[in-house]
């Protein structure tokens, strides 16, 4: 069964909507000190050569995204790299009326690189999809005169979605265990 970021976001939003607005933005959002962008990255030790790990990552893309071909921007097995532009939807929640509405689409860059017995993922460049780029790091500034309390809920939704993305990636990158039918 294929799950898209949108599907996961909808499930998350529906199941946690009452708590999302009560949550504040995660104070531990990973911000790269050089780029000052929200960046999730890690080098993961995983048995296998770059070609094997590349194939596992392509399988994960097919599992995680409804239409992986629309996400890919680079598929380079020779140099051990996969890149893509993912999307997730954020929602507004009106606690007074109990309704929730569309808050927009956040795009992000996902990059996975492979070496012997390890891979590195990077998820960064989060932008609210508008006519021009709107980096979501602006949502972290509560001193901004245009500050909107919904921004905290958006950051929480982004963080939760990326945490799920990372956990499914790590799980799908593990070697497949083949059970022998011994009878």
Domain map (residue ranges) of the chain? 5-173
Crossing angle of helices 150-173 and 50-64, rounded to 10°:
130
Q: What is the mean pLDDT of residues 136-161?
A: 91
Indicate yes or no: pTM above 0.85. no
pLDDT at residue 44, rounded to an integer: 97
User: CB under 8 Å to 97, separation ≥6 — which residues?
Assistant: none
Question: Yes or no: is domain 5-173 CATH 3.40.50.1820?
Answer: no
Tell me which of 52-66, 111-125, 131-145 is least confident. Answer: 131-145
The string of pLDDT tens digits covering residues 52-95 is 999 999 999 999 999 999 999 999 999 999 999 999 999 988 77
CA distance 86 to 12: 17
Reported as a pLDDT band with limits 50, 70 and 90, residue 27 is low
38 contacts 31 by C-beta, under 8 angstroms = yes
With 80 as the cut, is the pLDDT of residue 11 above it?
Answer: no
Reported as a pLDDT band with limits 50, 70 and 90, residue 20 is very low
Q: What is the mean pLDDT of residues 140-150?
A: 89
Helix (H) or strand (E) holding 28, with range, is none
Per DSSP, the three-state class of 169 is: helix
């Amino acid at each position: 069964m294929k799950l898209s970021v949108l599907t996961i976001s909808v499930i998350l939003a529906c199941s946690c909507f009452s708590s999302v607005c009560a949550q504040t933005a995660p104070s531990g959002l990973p911000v790269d000190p050089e780029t000052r962008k929200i960046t999730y990255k890690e080098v993961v030790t995983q048995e296998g050569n770059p070609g094997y790990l590349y194939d596992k990552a392509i399988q994960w893309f097919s599992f995680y995204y409804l239409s992986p071909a629309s996400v890919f921007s680079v598929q380079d097995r020779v140099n051990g790299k996969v890149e893509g532009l993912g999307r997730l939807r954020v929602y507004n929640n009106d606690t007074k009326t109990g309704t929730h509405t569309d808050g927009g689409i956040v795009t992000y860059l996902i990059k996975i690189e492979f070496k012997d017995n390890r891979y590195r993922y990077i998820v960064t460049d989060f932008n609210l999809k508008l006519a021009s780029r709107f980096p979501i790091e602006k949502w972290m500034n509560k001193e901004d005169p245009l500050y909107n309390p919904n921004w905290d809920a958006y950051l929480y939704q982004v963080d939760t979605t990326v945490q799920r993305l990372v956990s499914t990636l790590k799980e799908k990158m593990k070697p497949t265990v083949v059970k022998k039918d011994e009878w």
